[in-house]
Each structure stands twice: as structure tokens, then as C-alpha cells.
């Protein structure tokens, strides 16, 4: 088991944001968590890193209890997060952004890892000396993913990677997710509002509502379920 | 891409005339009481006289002046737009060329700084002013680490300047330490103060951090004023020993060899002035090399990353607190070293030298120079020190001049005089990496 959350509660002041979450990610899986705005998806992801601290429950990663570890220590545990809204370093160059991703990694791997990223995202190699803030939204998202991968994580957390991107880039991002998983064996937890793409890319999915997991199943089952279709897909991608 | 056409791109002649007429009308309204009417003493009684021709000239000047100004502003705007359109395509090549040009300007400035005291060897005023500029350059470079690189708004930098100055003053007058021995120690003391002040306050961000640092700056000053036994209070500390040339003092006569007798020169007070100039030049160059090297190391990149996005840094597993603290302590240390030099140069220090005004000027140097730009700090120091000096002839108007210059820089170069950011790492043309 790569990641296991059992009975996790979290609060923002008086707001009870997570109400007893049970979720697990197996090695080599792509798991997606879908839900509407404010359902608590991002809170769940952030609580993995102790921001906010969970008020009850247990989080284990790779067999180790990480519930109470400090944030930057958790981030050193082979987990990489691609934060919501990309959060690249806009005034630094693409190369410098990639180097920041490898800040805790073994420097001997640097050149190999950079080559891997160029192979995965050829556009980044062309733009190495460009300021990251001048990249398009889709390119920035690729940079954010590449930066996270530079740390050689076992588990990659993606927070709404398709947010605000053009359809072509959304496709490319989900292709990358599949490629990472199938060719490189990367375990991925994907948080998305774009339920159609996310469920198609994922082995398993969880549906979140008001701080609780309301449904779970394989990606295909959820995609076919009437409830999910009604809540997240109808109107948008009904023809899928 | 065809050039975009904006509705307001080029105002018609009629629009320009209308605009200028409006200004002329305001000039008329203001001018009637201020210029058109005047009082004169005629035969013991005060009479109101009119000066209509002068008023007419004034209005005509306003009208024409407005036409010219408007035209120039429009031309400037068009050029800016044209530049912006091209800027997108230019990309990395531009960055590199800009970097090379800046580098050559930097070397030129270095050469000028080196020969300045030789050229002006008999002009005390010039060398003194240049020394002041260099003190601000050093302070600016120290603060640049905190504000420009790590993005921490520090309004109390003068506190560390004061700590360094008082550390040297006390070490030398109370314990007989020499300048060179006290220099690193006082720097370290200031750095420790930086750590102590930074530890509790660096969890704050932006405006809140600025307020706390402002408070610390004042606390240090108020303590220095009131703790008379320790710091001499408002009287300050006087007869601080001047630095010596490897043990040779700069004095007219002494039983021991002096700088002048040792080298067989006739004593001149300029020797010390020029020596001090070269001391601060060396200190600031060391600062520059240190900061430039650090910037290319992982810690320097970490500072910049913290400035860019703290949350992303945390997600990457960086210890953000350590990065901030190290930047703060380094900035404090450099400020402290500058303070030691200041105390040694003046021979007398009092809390009055370390008011908030100083912090504001140092911060202005960093911001106007272009945050994070080393050369920008130099240019801004020159401007901010020389402007009040040049303005001496204008007496009470010099702060006005100072303010106007600041506003002009803000309008024309909102990112600072040099907003160019040099990448910490470039690719060589062969495709390999080059540090």
C-alpha cells in the first residue's frame, strides 16, 4: 500500500472540512478524486502535508505514519505535489525551476533526470533559458509536473492539472499522466473537476461531497454510474 | 502580425488643441491673481497694479508647453507599445545580450571607481562623497539579499548598521580592539542580531513583516538613546580609533612611524581619506562577489524561489524558514560590516545617524535600483546620494528635487532602473551546462 488515509478529519477553524475520509492508493495505480468546488478535495491533499493538521485519523505513506510530521519533512518522503494553479517560479528560468524541483534529490542524478524531463516534455528543452512566467498556461503546467518529477517521487499528487487550460493541453496533460503511469510505473493521485478525463485516465476513483467520500469504484464504473453522470458529466461531456 | 491600431493611438490636431486650450484656461484662472495682479508701494500707499502682457505670455507658454509635452508623452507611449509587441518574440537571446551589456557596464564602473581617488587626489569633497556612495552601495547590496532575493520587506535594516557601528565603537574604545579585528566580529554580532530578530518575525509575511522590522529598527535606536551607561545615550561615542594602514596610523606626527614617514611622504590629510575610500571599495567588492557567488548556489536559488512562491517551496520539501533566516542573517551581517566602517570613518557615532530615514533610503536604493540587481543598486546609490548633494544650491527645494526624481523613475522604470534579472545558470551554445 502506497498511501492510506483512515478516518481523517480536518478543520479550518470552526469549519469541519474533512469528515472521516478513508482512501487508499496502491503501488502503480492512478487514483482520482473528483468532486465539486468546496467539496474538500484540495483540503484533503493539503492535509497529507499537515496543512491543515488532521484533527483525527491516521495517514500512512509507504508503511510509515506521517500524520504528525512537519510539512517539509513529509515533502521529503518521496511524495511530490503539483500544486493547484501550477505555482511555478515565474521570474526564474525554466532550467532554474527544474533545479528547484531537484533541490533535495541526489545531485548525481541531475543530468539523467533533466534528460528524462526533456524526453517527456520536449517543449521545456526549447525554453530552458526563458522566464517561466512567459510560458503559456499549458507549458507552465508541464513545467510544474516536470519540477515535481525531478525529486524522483514514488507518489505524484496532482491538484487540478487541467485547471484553466485549453482543450488541446488538457488532452496532452492526461496523455502524460497515462504515459507516466504505464511506461514509468508512477503511482498517481489525481484531483480533478474534469471528471470525464480524470475517470478515463484512472484505475479507481473516489467521489467527494461536503467533506465525505460518497462513492468509490473503478474509473469505468464511476464513469458509467448514473449519479456521477448526472452530477458531474451531463451537459459537458455527455457524448463520451 | 499587422500592427494593432488603437482608437486613441494618435490624437487628431483638434484634440490636441482642445487639450492645450484646457490647460491654457486653467493657467488663466490661476494666473489672474498670481501673475496678472501685483502690489507695489507707490508714494507710501499700497497700490494694485496689473501685468496683463506678462499674463498673456504665461498663458501662451502654458498652451505651447502643453502641446509639446502631450506630443512627447504620446510618442513615448507609442514607442513603448512597439517595444512591448516585439518583446514577446525576443525571449532568451535578449536576456543574454542584456546580461553581457550589463557586465561590461559593471566593469566600466569598477574601473572608474578604481581611478577616481587618483584623478581627484586633491579634492576632498569628491572622494568623501564617493565614500558615502560606496557605504550606501554596500548597505544596498546587503539589503538586496533580504529584499531583492528573498523577497522579505525589511524596513529596519538600519538596526544592523547601528549594531555594527556600536559594536566596533565599544570594542575599540572599551577593549582596545583594532579595526581589522573588530570588522568580522562586529559583522557576526550583527548577523546574530539578525537571527534573533528574524526567528520570531519571519513567520510573518509582506506588510506585517515590514511593520515588525520597522519596530525593531526603532527599538535598537531607542535603546541606544536611553541606555546611557552602555552606549553613551544621545551623546553617542566619540574618539573612535581610525583604521590604520597595517599598523601605520594617519597622523601628522608621532613617536612611532606613521604612514607618511614610513613611505617618506609629506603628511597630508588626504592620505587617510583616500585610504578609507579604498577600504570601503574593497569591502563592497567582497560583498558583491560573495552575493554573486551565493546567488548561483542552491541557497541563492532557494532565496529567489521563496520570493517567487513560498507555498511551492514548501511543496518541494524546502525548509522555508531556514532559507529566510539565512538571507536575513547574511543581510544583517553585511549591514553590520558597513556600520563598522561608518563608525571608523566618522570617529563619532550617535543614535541620530541611525534613524528610520536611513532605512528608507537604503530600501529606496534597492527598490529603485531594481530588486535583486547588483548594478542597479550602484546606480541608485549614486543617484540618491548625489541628488541631495547637487541640490545643495537649491537649499529647501532639494527634497522636492529628490521626490521628483523618485517619481520619474517610478513612471519610466516601474521595475527599477535595472529590472533585468540575470539567470543563475546559462546553457553554453554546445548544449552542455555552464555554471
Q: What domain range includes position B69?
A: 13-40+48-82
Share of chain B above pLDDT 90, in %: 36
**Is residue B7 situated within a structural domain?**
no
Closest of B105, B141, B123, B100 to residue B281, by C-alpha: B141
Residues of A in contact with B427 (CB under 8 A): 95, 128-129
Residue A74 confidence (pLDDT) = 87
Confidence at B4, pLDDT banded by 50, 70, 90: very low
- What CATH code is carried by the domain that includes residue B263? 1.10.3470
**Is residue B398 situated within a structural domain?**
yes
Q: Is residue B391 scored above 80 in pLDDT? A: no
Name, of A219-233, B178-192, B256-270, the range with top average pLDDT.
B178-192
**Is residue B90 situated within a structural domain?**
no
Residues of B in contact with A83 (CB under 8 A): 311-312, 315
Confidence at A237, pLDDT banded by 50, 70, 90: very low
CA distance B293 to B299: 10
Across-strand partners of A80?
A: A156
Helix (H, G, I), strand (E, B), or coil: what is residue B248?
A: strand
Altogether, the residues listed in chain A come to a count of: 240
Least CB-CB distance to B315: which of A75, A96, A111?
A75
What's the whole-number mean pLDDT along residues B316-330?
A: 91
Residue A226 confidence (pLDDT) = 82
Share of chain B above pLDDT 70, in %: 92
- Same-domain check for residues B204 and B242: yes
Altogether, the residues listed in chain B come to a count of: 435
85-104 of B, contacting A, C-beta below 8 A: 88, 91-92, 95-96
**Is residue A147 situated within a structural domain?**
yes
Residue A148 confidence (pLDDT) = 94
- Same-domain check for residues B133 and B71: no
Radius of gyration over every alpha carbon of chain A, rounded to an integer in angstroms: 17
Cis peptide before B154 (omega within 30 of 0): no
CA distance A83 to A191: 10
**Is residue B239 situated within a structural domain?**
yes
Global pTM value: 0.78
Q: Is residue A35 scored above 60 in pLDDT? A: yes
Confidence at B94, pLDDT banded by 50, 70, 90: low
DSSP 8-state code for residue A31: E
B298 touches chain A (CB under 8 A): yes
- Same-domain check for residues B17 and B143: no
**Phi first, then psi: what are they for B308, rounded to 5°?**
-75, -45
What's the whole-number mean pLDDT along residues B95-110?
A: 79
**DSSP string covering B245-271, please?**
BTTB---S--SS--HHHHTTPPP-HHH
**Is residue A131 situated within a structural domain?**
yes
Say which residues have a Cβ less than 8 Å from residue B216's Cβ, sequence separation at least 6. Answer: B156, B159, B197, B201
- Same-domain check for residues B267 and B394: yes
- Same-domain check for residues B234 and B336: yes
- Same-domain check for residues B71 and B182: no
**Is residue A109 situated within a structural domain?**
yes
Domain tally, chain A: 1
Instruction: Residue B89: count other Cβ atoms within 10 Å of its Cβ.
Output: 9
pLDDT (tens digit per residue) in B203-234 = 888 889 999 999 999 999 999 999 998 888 89
DSSP 8-state code for residue B125: H
Q: Alpha helices of chain A — where are they, by DSSP H?
A: 41-48, 71-74, 94-101, 110-120, 122-126, 137-149, 167-184, 195-201, 219-224, 226-228
**Is residue B64 situated within a structural domain?**
yes
**Is residue B282 situated within a structural domain?**
yes
**Is residue A179 situated within a structural domain?**
no
Least CB-CB distance to A129: which of B312, B316, B426?
B426
Residue B3 confidence (pLDDT) = 46
Closest of A204, A179, A200 to residue A189, by C-alpha: A204
- Same-domain check for residues B54 and B144: no
- Same-domain check for residues B24 and B133: no
Greater model confidence, B375 or B84: B375
What's the whole-number mean pLDDT along residues A127-149?
A: 93
Residue B84 confidence (pLDDT) = 67
Domain tally, chain B: 2
CA distance A2 to B123: 74
What's the whole-number mean pLDDT along residues A103-120?
A: 91
Shortest alpha-carbon distance between residue B335 and chain A (Å): 27
Which is it for strands A15-25 and A64-65: parallel, antiparallel or unpaired? unpaired
**Is residue A130 situated within a structural domain?**
yes
The H or E element containing residue B79 is: helix B52-90
- Same-domain check for residues B149 and B221: yes
Least CB-CB distance to A92: which of B308, B315, B427?
B308
Q: What domain range includes position A110?
A: 85-153
Residue B324 confidence (pLDDT) = 93
Q: Is residue A64 scored above 50 in pLDDT? A: yes
Q: Does the beta-carbon distance from B304 to A91 stay under 8 Å?
A: yes
**Is residue B93 situated within a structural domain?**
no
Greater model confidence, B260 or B356: B356
- Number of Cβ pairs < 8 A linking chain A and chain B: 92
Amino acid at each position: 500500500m502506497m498511501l492510506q488515509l483512515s478516518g481523517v478529519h480536518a478543520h479550518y477553524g470552526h469549519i469541519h472540512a474533512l469528515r472521516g475520509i478513508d482512501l487508499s492508493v496502491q503501488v502503480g495505480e492512478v487514483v482520482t478524486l473528483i468532486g465539486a468546488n468546496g467539496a474538500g478535495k484540495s483540503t484533503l491533499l493539503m492535509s497529507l502535508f499537515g496543512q491543515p493538521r488532521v484533527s483525527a485519523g491516521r495517514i500512512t505513506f509507504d508503511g510509515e505514519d506521517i500524520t504528525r510530521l512537519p510539512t517539509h519533512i513529509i515533502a521529503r518522503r518521496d511524495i511530490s505535489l503539483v500544486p493547484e494553479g501550477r505555482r511555478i517560479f515565474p521570474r526564474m528560468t525554466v532550467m532554474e525551476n527544474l533545479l528547484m524541483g531537484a533541490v533535495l534529490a541526489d545531485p548525481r542524478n541531475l543530468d539523467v533526470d533533466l534528460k528524462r524531463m526533456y524526453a517527456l516534455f520536449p517543449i521545456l528543452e526549447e525554453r530552458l533559458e526563458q522566464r517561466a512566467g512567459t510560458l503559456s498556461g499549458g507549458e507552465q503546467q508541464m513545467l510544474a509536473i516536470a519540477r515535481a518529477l525531478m525529486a524522483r517521487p514514488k507518489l505524484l499528487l496532482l491538484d487540478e492539472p487541467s485547471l484553466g487550460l485549453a482543450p488541446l493541453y488538457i488532452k496532452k496533460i492526461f496523455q502524460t499522466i497515462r504515459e507516466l503511469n504505464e511506461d514509468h510505473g508512477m503511482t498517481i493521485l489525481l484531483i480533478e473537476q474534469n471528471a470525464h478525463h480524470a475517470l478515463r485516465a484512472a484505475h479507481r476513483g473516489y467521489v467527494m461531497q461536503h467533506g465525505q467520500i460518497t462513492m468509490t469504484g473503478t474509473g469505468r464504473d464511476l464513469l458509467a454510474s448514473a449519479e456521477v453522470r448526472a452530477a458531474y458529466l451531463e451537459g459537458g461531456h455527455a457524448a463520451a | 502580425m499587422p500592427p494593432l491600431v488603437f482608437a486613441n493611438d494618435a490624437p487628431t490636431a483638434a484634440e490636441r488643441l482642445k487639450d492645450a486650450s484646457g490647460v491654457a484656461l486653467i493657467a488663466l484662472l490661476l494666473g489672474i491673481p498670481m501673475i496678472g495682479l501685483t502690489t507695489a508701494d507707490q508714494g507710501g500707499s499700497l497700490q494694485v497694479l496689473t501685468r496683463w502682457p506678462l499674463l498673456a505670455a504665461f498663458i501662451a507658454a502654458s498652451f505651447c508647453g502643453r502641446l509639446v509635452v502631450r506630443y512627447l508623452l504620446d510618442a513615448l507611449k507609442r514607442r513603448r507599445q512597439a517595444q512591448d509587441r516585439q518583446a514577446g518574440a525576443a525571449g532568451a537571446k535578449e536576456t543574454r545580450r542584456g546580461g553581457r551589456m550589463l557586465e561590461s557596464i559593471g566593469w566600466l564602473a569598477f574601473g572608474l571607481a578604481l581611478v577616481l581617488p587618483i584623478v581627484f587626489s586633491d579634492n576632498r569633497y569628491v572622494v568623501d562623497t564617493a565614500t558615502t556612495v560606496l557605504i550606501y552601495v554596500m548597505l544596498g547590496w546587503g539589503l538586496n539579499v533580504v529584499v531583492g532575493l528573498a523577497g522579505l520587506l525589511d524596513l529596519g535594516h538600519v538596526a544592523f548598521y547601528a549594531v555594527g557601528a556600536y559594536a566596533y565603537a565599544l570594542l575599540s574604545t572599551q577593549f582596545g580592539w583594532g579595526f581589522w579585528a573588530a570588522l568580522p566580529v562586529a559583522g557576526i554580532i550583527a548577523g546574530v542580531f539578525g537571527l534573533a530578530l528574524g526567528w520570531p518575525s519571519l513567520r510573518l509575511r509582506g506588510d506585517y513583516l515590514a511593520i515588525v522590522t520597522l519596530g525593531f529598527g526603532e527599538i535598537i535606536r531607542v535603546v541606544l538613546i536611553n541606555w546611557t551607561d552602555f552606549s553613551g545615550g544621545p551623546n553617542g561615542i566619540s574618539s573612535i580609533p581610525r583604521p590604520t594602514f597595517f599598523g601605520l596610523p594617519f597622523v601628522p606626527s608621532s613617536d612611532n612611524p606613521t604612514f607618511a614617514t614610513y613611505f617618506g611622504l609629506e603628511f597630508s590629510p588626504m592620505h587617510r581619506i583616500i585610504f578609507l575610500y579604498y577600504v570601503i571599495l574593497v569591502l563592497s567588492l567582497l560583498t558583491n562577489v560573495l552575493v554573486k557567488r551565493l546567488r548561483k548556489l542552491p541557497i541563492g536559488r532557494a532565496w529567489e524561489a521563496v520570493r517567487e512562491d513560498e507555498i511551492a517551496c514548501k511543496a518541494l520539501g524546502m525548509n522555508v524558514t531556514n532559507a529566510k533566516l539565512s538571507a536575513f542573517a547574511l543581510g544583517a551581517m553585511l549591514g553590520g560590516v558597513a556600520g563598522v566602517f561608518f563608525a571608523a570613518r566618522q570617529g563619532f557615532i550617535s543614535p541620530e545617524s541611525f534613524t528610520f530615514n536611513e532605512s528608507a533610503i537604503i530600501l529606496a536604493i534597492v527598490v529603485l535600483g531594481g530588486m535583486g540587481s547588483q548594478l542597479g543598486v550602484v546606480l541608485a546609490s549614486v543617484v540618491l546620494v548625489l541628488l541631495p548633494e547637487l541640490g545643495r544650491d537649491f537649499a529647501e527645494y532639494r527634497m522636492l528635487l529628490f521626490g521628483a526624481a523618485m517619481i520619474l523613475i517610478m513612471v519610466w522604470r516601474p521595475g527599477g532602473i535595472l529590472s533585468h534579472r540575470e539567470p543563475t545558470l546559462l546553457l553554453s551554445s554546445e548544449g552542455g551546462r555552464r555554471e
